[in-house]
Amino acid sequence: MVVGSDGMVGGAHPTAETAIAYLQSPQAIRDRARALFQLAESDQLQHLRYHPEAMPATAAYVLDVMGQQYPGGDIPFHSRWRHFEVEGRSRLDLLEPNLSALDPLEQARLKVDLVITSVLLDAGAGSRWRYVEPGTGLGFTRSEGLAIASFHSFTSGLFSSQPNHPWQADGHGLTQLTADRLAQALQVNDNNFLLGLEGRVALLQKLGHTLHQQPQLFGAILPRPGNLVDYWLQTASQGQLSATTILQTILLGLGPIWPGRIELAGTNLGDVWSHPQLPNTGPGSNLVPFHKLSQWLTYSLLEPLQDLGLTITDLDQLTGLAEYRNGGLFIDCGVLSLKDPTAAETAHAPDSPLIVEWRALTLCLLDDLAAYLRQTLGVDATALPLAKILQGGTWTAGRQIAAEKRPDGAPPIHLASDGTVF
C-alpha cells in the first residue's frame, strides 16, 4: 500500500512531510491508539471487547509481580540488557578486561553495535526453538534465547568485516551475512525451528546497506550502528538528550530496513498499519503507528548513553510496547476478550484488523495501568516511568500468566511472525 504524497494524515497535517513527522512521533502512536480505544469503550470494535471492571484485579496482579521481582523497589529500565543478565550473570562480564581497556566512547559504540543487532534479531522465536549457551550448557528460549544467541554471535565476529575487530557490527559485515551462517550461529536445524529466520537475515542485510547510505548518522569510512553515539553527543544540549530524539533518529536511520511496509511520499513508515474503522478523511488518516522494535531499541540505548554522562529527558513521552506479552496480559486477565473465540485458533498477520486492534488497545491500557499503579504507590512518572513498569512489571506478568494458562506459555492470540515486527 502506497499513500499518495498529495494527501493528508488527519486535517491538521496538510503536507506529506508533516504527516510523516507526525506518524513517527509518540504522540501519533497515542492519538491513533486512543481513537480505537474510544470505539472499544462503546463496544464498536469488530474483534475485541473491553471489560474495564477487570482492570483493578489486573493492576493488583502486576503489583504482586513487581513485588516478587523487585522487592526493594529498584526497578531497572525494560531493555535488551536485562536479557543479557539471565541466570544471575551479566554476559558483558565475559568481555572484560578487554572491554574496560577501550576508551568510554568506543565502549559505548560497541554496546550500541551489540544492542541494535540483538534487538533486530528479537522478533518472536516461536515455541519450538531453543539455544544452548556455549561454555555454560544452559538452555534458553524466546527473547532470552535470542539475546544470548545474538550476544555470542556478536562476540564471535558474525557481524564484523574485520577479523582483528570481531566485537563490532559494520556495513560490509552485515551485508555479507547469509541465512546459513545465521542459522548456524542460532543453532537452527530441522529439529530446532526458529520462526522468521529469512526475515531476520534480510533485516540485518538491509541494515548493512542503510549504514552505507547515511554517513551523517553512521560514519563514512567504516559505517557502524555504534557511530550513532557520536551523532547523539553532537545533538545533545548541555549534556541532555531527549528520548524522543533518540527514537526519531532510529526511525530515520533504520526506516529503510523494514520490508513491505506502508509508504508515504516514498518514505517507508515502518511499524505502521491501517485499520478499517478509523475515518478515511484523507490518505493516511486510517493509519496506526506502533514502532514497537524502534521504541524497544530506544529503551535499550539509554544505558550506554547514560554511562557516557548524558541525561535522558522526556522518557515518558515514549509509549508502552505493543507486543504479545503486554497484550496477552490484558486478554489473560480478562480486560479484553475476543468477540469470536474461534479467532484464537488461527494465526493472524500483523496487518490484520484484529492484531492492530489488540496492539492499539494494549498501548492505551498500559498508559491507564501506569496511572493506576503510580497513584497506588504514591509516585509520579519520573520515579516510575513506563520503561520501569514494563520491566517490573507488565511484560513479566504477561509471560507469567501465559505460563499459568497454557502449557507452552504461548500468547492467547497467535501471530504469524515474519521475524521483523514482534
- For the ranges 19-33, 153-167, 277-291, the lowest mean pLDDT is seen at 277-291
Beta-bridged to residue 50, according to DSSP, are 336
Kindly report the number of other CB atoms within 10 A of residue 140's CB atom. Answer: 21
**pLDDT band at residue 115 under the 50/70/90 scheme:** very high
pLDDT digits (tens, 9 = 90+) for 7-50: 343 444 457 888 888 999 999 999 999 999 999 999 999 999 99
User: Of the segments 49-53, 73-77, 98-102, 261-265, which one has the largest average pLDDT value?
Assistant: 49-53
- What pLDDT is attached to residue 420? 67
- Tell me, rounded to whole angstroms, the distance of Cα 157 from its chain centroid: 24
DSSP-derived pairing of the beta strands 347-348 and 414-415 = parallel
Average pLDDT for 218-230:
97
Whole-Å CA distances, 329 to 15, 183, 309, 366: 38, 31, 36, 10
Count of positions (residues) in the chain: 422
Average pLDDT score over the chain? 91
Average pLDDT for 49-76:
96
**pLDDT band at residue 403 under the 50/70/90 scheme:** very high
- What pLDDT is attached to residue 422? 59
- What pLDDT is attached to residue 125? 79
- What pLDDT is attached to residue 287? 94
**pLDDT beyond 70 at 283:** no
CB 236 within 8 A of CB 310: yes
DSSP-derived pairing of the beta strands 272-274 and 287-289 = antiparallel
What percent of the chain has pLDDT above 70?
Answer: 95
CA distance 8 to 215: 31
Going from N- to C-terminal start, the domains of the chain cover: 2-415
pTM over 0.85: yes
CA distance 257 to 243: 21
Average pLDDT for 189-208:
92
- For the ranges 43-57, 193-207, 212-226, 321-335, the lowest mean pLDDT is seen at 193-207
**Long-range Cβ contact pairs of 9-16 (< 8 A, separation 24 or more):** 9/264, 9/282, 9/283, 9/284, 9/285, 9/287, 10/281, 10/282, 10/284, 10/285, 11/281, 11/282, 16/264, 16/265
Average pLDDT for 326-352:
96
Cell of residue 137, nine digits: 550448557
**pLDDT beyond 70 at 418:** no
Average pLDDT for 155-168:
96
**pLDDT band at residue 3 under the 50/70/90 scheme:** very low
Q: Which amino acid is at 248?
A: Q
Collapse the DSSP code of 49 into the 3-class scheme (helix H, G, I; strand E, B; otherwise coil) and give the result.
strand
Classify 111 in phi/psi space as left (phi over 0), alpha (psi -120 to 50) or beta.
alpha
- What pLDDT is attached to residue 122? 84
CA distance 20 to 289: 11
Phi, psi of 259, deg, nearest 5: -85, 145
- For the ranges 58-72, 126-140, 161-175, 408-422, the lowest mean pLDDT is seen at 408-422
Cell of residue 88, nine digits: 544471575
